[in-house]
Structures are given as C-alpha cells and as structure tokens.
C-alpha cells in the first residue's frame, strides 16, 4: 500500500464509513456519554488508545493463529478476549506512565470493553486485506472518527439544551433527530467512494 492508499483508508474509516453514523456501532456510548464535552473527549481518547492497540493485536491473531489453524469460528470470541487484554494493558500503561491522564479518563477506560464499536472495527478490519500497519491505522482512524462524532454531538446537545425546544421533544427525542441529521450529513460523504 502506498501513501495515497493509506490516506484513503484514513478518510474512509474516519468519515465516509464512520463507525457510528454509517455502521451504527457504538450507539450506547454515543447517546450516553455525549451529554458533556469533557466526557465525550475522555471516552474518545480512551477509545483511540484501545482501538489502535486492539486492531494491531487482532491482525496478529488473525494471521498467525486463526488462519493457520483454520478456525474462523473462533474470531469473535478471540477478538473479545483481545479487546479485554487491550483495555487492561492500556489502563496499566496509563496508570504507570501517565497518571494524570489515567485520573482524567477515570471510568471511561474500563467501559470500552463493552463498546461494540471496538469489536465491530476489529471484525471489519479482518475482512479487509490490510498489513499490520494498515490494521493499526484503520483502528486509529475509526477511533478518531468515533471521537469526532462524539465531540460534534456533545457540542450539538449542549446547544440544544439552551434552545427553546418544545416539551415533547426535549431530551432523547431531539437527540435522536439530531443524530439522524448528522448521519444524513455524513452520508453525503459516501459519494467519495472510499473503501
């Protein structure tokens, strides 16, 4: 893969095929954590760390364990285990080398274990013919797209709270309508035909 292919991979994973708005994965944290920008940023950063590490481990496991053993049926179970290991390793490394970041992210790191966007991205990257660097880049770009959408939605929700919204539309209804409009905006990027 050349530099142009990697650029297309980044744009495709982060924007065109966004894990939240195009693949509809990770909707629980998208709706749950996007109430505050600080929470969205914390979860986005933690997801970026874990997803990059987990995508690399998933690629290694796929090419050196599952394919030689001809055991594709074990892919989901194996990837769930890899994600749990990646979350624990990230938390330990942050606690050891970046204690301030670990205190700032707090509860968000363990919550990533149950984020279906992480498992979905690992499974999606296994379907592509990527190198180890490509898989790590795909995970990183997907996580950046996840964080971008979380931050945009958190900023949008902060503005909606201040606006005069009719009573029956307050809370979840207006949030879902806003998320739908964001998804439509991101669908406009699908014309770029990026893999």
**pLDDT tens-place string over residues 144-193:** 999 999 999 998 888 877 677 788 888 788 888 888 888 888 888 776 65
Q: Which domain holds residue 48?
A: 3-192
* Contact (CB, 8 A) for 83 and 113: yes
pLDDT computed for residue 77 by the predictor: 93
C-alpha distances (whole Å) from 100 to each of 42, 104, 106, 121, 152 are 12, 6, 10, 28, 25
Number of domains comprising the chain: 1
Q: What is the pTM of this model?
A: 0.86
pLDDT computed for residue 191 by the predictor: 67
Dihedral sign computed on CA atoms, order 103, 106, 110, 112: negative
Local mean pLDDT, 10-residue blocks, the chain (195 residues): 84 89 86 81 86 91 93 92 89 85 77 86 86 93 93 87 77 85 84 56
């Amino acid at each position: 893969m050349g530099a142009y292919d990697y650029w297309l991979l980044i744009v495709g994973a982060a924007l065109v095929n966004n894990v939240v708005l195009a693949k509809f994965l990770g909707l629980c944290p998208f709706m749950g954590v996007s109430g505050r920008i600080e929470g969205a940023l914390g979860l986005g950063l933690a997801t970026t760390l874990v997803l990059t590490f987990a995508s690399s481990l998933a690629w290694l496991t796929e090419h050196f364990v599952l394919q030689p053993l001809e055991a594709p049926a074990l892919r989901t179970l194996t990837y769930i285990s890899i994600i749990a290991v990646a979350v624990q390793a990230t938390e330990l490394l942050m606690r050891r080398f970046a204690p301030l970041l670990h205190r700032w992210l707090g509860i968000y790191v363990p919550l990533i274990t149950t984020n279906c966007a992480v498992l979905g991205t690992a499974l999606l990257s296994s379907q592509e013919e990527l190198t180890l660097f490509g898989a790590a880049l795909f995970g990183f770009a997907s996580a950046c797209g996840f964080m971008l959408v979380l931050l945009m939605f958190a900023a949008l929700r902060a503005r909606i709270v201040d606006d005069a919204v009719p009573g029956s539309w307050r809370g979840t209804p207006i949030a879902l309508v806003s998320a739908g409009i964001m998804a439509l905006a991101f669908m406009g990027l699908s014309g770029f035909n990026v893999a």
